[in-house]
Amino acid sequence: MATTRQRPAGDTATRILDVAERLVQSRGFNGFSYADIAAELEITTASLHYHFPGKGELGRALIGRYAARFSDALDVIDDELPDALAKLVAYGNLYAAVLREKRLCLCGMLAAEYHTLPEGMREAVLAFFDTNEKWLAHVLREGREAGALRFGGTPEGAARMIVGGLEGAMLVARPYDDVARFEEVVQQLLGGLTINV
């Protein structure tokens, strides 16, 4: 008789989030249902509703987890890389890593569906972008003050340009299934900020 490996009860919520995250990043939030997740995990939709009563709660949990991982990655970049340009390159690599998995940035996908999302999810999407822009503005300000970066306007405006450029480059590279196309945009984007010695 075959035995099934038992998973801890708390693991079900993580598995649900893992599948939902992949589905959002490949299909969009409105492109899947609880039935899709239940079928893939071979659980009932009632089990999904137990962990996440509604799709809005699931969405907020997804954004919270994704934002926390992204924030942790930014902390590692800050701790391990000494200069602003290296930090910006590493930031671009975070996006490239997602694209290599044939996915898009979770919050970038959600931004495309922004007006159809529940209010709590909308606030969480904006908070994700605000956090990223604030981090980038700090890096850009430091790089300009150190004489390593140049850009017109404010660090906040340059930060918005970077986020918009990376999100847009991911979107356009996706139908070509070409990470190199995305990486070329990143090089151009960051090259425009570098002071040639």
In a domain, 56, yes or no: no
pTM of the model: 0.89
Tens digit of each residue's pLDDT (9 = 90 or more) over 138-196: 999 999 999 999 999 999 999 999 999 999 999 999 999 999 999 999 999 998 898 75
- What whole-number distance in Å separates Cα of residue 147 and Cα of residue 143? 6
In a domain, 17, yes or no: no
CATH of the domain at 178: 1.10.357.10
Average pLDDT over residues 19-36: 95
pLDDT at residue 197, as a whole number: 44
* Contacts of 153 by beta carbon, 8 Å cutoff, 6+ apart: none
Domain count, the chain: 1
pLDDT band of 6, cuts 50, 70, 90: very low
In a domain, 94, yes or no: yes
CB distance 85 to 149 below 8 Å: yes
In a domain, 46, yes or no: no
pLDDT at residue 2, as a whole number: 34
Domain range enclosing 169: 63-191
